[in-house]
Amino acid sequence: MINVNRVKAMLLRYAYNMRHSFDRLTDMFYWPAMDLLIWGLTGFYFIKSSAEFSSLLFVILSGLIFWLVVWRTQYEITTNMLSEIWDKNIVNIFASPLKISEWIAAFMVFGITKMFISLTFSSILAFVLFKLNVFLYGFYLIPLIVNLILTGWAAGFFVAGFLVRFGNTIQTLAWAGVYLIAPFSAIFYPITILPTWAQKISQFVPSSYVFEGIREILFTGHLSTDKIIASLALNLIYLILSICFFTFMFHKSRKLGLGRLIQ
């Protein structure tokens, strides 16, 4: 059973952290804004160069905005996990009645909250600057975003498993780890342009179905449910496996002593 009060306490802990950290506060807005500006203007330039590229701007902007969902949800898991090591606080929280399931729940809720703030900000900016209305995806937005959240969580817990076992010596994984799946997610391009071996890998990357789906909606106005179901099935399998992996690595780490992570 998850104790809601302790989950709320952990949410408060990460909210306080965000309040005091300029990095954590601004990264919700600064990087999405920069990405949108640079890639939006690049797309704009292509459109002006040739009519062939007329849909390119929305493809790029949609890719940027929706990739943010994956990035943000995984990043909040890995960096909040690392913050317990950086703050030498991991022993304090696990010398309390906090359970690992409550820690996991707090990561998920906090990640979703920050992701929605970031997503809302980016969507408004994309509309104001480039007239991209994310609501053009209609009700498809729900399965698309849900799937991307699941992908982000799965990637986050997988990376966090390594972090909780090996500590901050491999902390780069916290922000770089998820980019391993980015080329296979086909965020800005169709899967067909990938080499055959990479296409085969893409079949096992749930976000690839979502980004293919986004382009399908942009070009046809429809989304085939096969893509959503395939993505959802893979996501659920990966999420369960990643949480099991994280829990397993946490117990391996506890076997050696969590205190060693903060020495």
Partner 1 sequence: MAALSEVEGHDSSEVKLSMNPILGVKNLTKKFGGFTAADDISFNLFEGEILGLLGPNGAGKTTIIQMLLGVMEPTAGVIQYFGKNFKKYREEILKQVNYSSTYISLPWLFTVAESLEFFARLYEVDDRKKKITKLVAEFEIENLYHKQYYMLSAGEKTRVLLAKAFLNYPKIILLDEPTASLDVEIAVKVREFLKKEKSQYNVSMLFTSHNMAEVEEMCDRVIILKSGKIIAEDKPENLAKKITACQVELVITDDAQKAESFLTAKKVPFEKDRFRFIVSLEEKNIADFLVLLTAEKIAYEEISINKPDLEDYFLKMIELKT
Residues that bind partner 1 (CB under 8 A): 3, 5-6, 8-10, 12-13, 16-17, 20-21, 83, 86-99, 251, 254-259, 262
Residues 6+ apart with CB under 8 A from 40: 57, 60, 61, 126, 129, 130
* Of residues 222 and 252, the one with the C-beta less far from partner 1: 252
* Minimum gap (Å) between residue 113 Cβ and partner 1: 17
* Of residues 190 and 259, the one with the C-beta less far from partner 1: 259
* Of residues 12 and 170, the one with the C-beta less far from partner 1: 12
* Minimum gap (Å) between residue 243 Cβ and partner 1: 19
Q: What is the DSSP string of 3-71?
A: -HHHHHHHHHHHHHHHHH-HHHHHTTTHHHHHHHHHHHHHHHHHHHH-GGGTTHHHHHHHHHHHHHHHH
* Minimum gap (Å) between residue 168 Cβ and partner 1: 14
Residue where the block lists tokens 């809302």: 120
Sign of the torsion formed by the C-alpha atoms of 147, 150, 154 and 155: positive
Of all helices (H) and strands (E), which one includes residue 78?
helix 56-86
Composition of the chain by helix, strand, coil, percent to 5: 85, 0, 15
* Minimum gap (Å) between residue 31 Cβ and partner 1: 21
* Minimum gap (Å) between residue 3 Cβ and partner 1: 8
* Minimum gap (Å) between residue 2 Cβ and partner 1: 11
* Of residues 91 and 182, the one with the C-beta less far from partner 1: 91
* Of residues 20 and 48, the one with the C-beta less far from partner 1: 20
* Of residues 95 and 142, the one with the C-beta less far from partner 1: 95
- The phi-psi region of residue 221 (left if phi > 0; otherwise alpha if psi is between -120 and 50; otherwise beta) is left
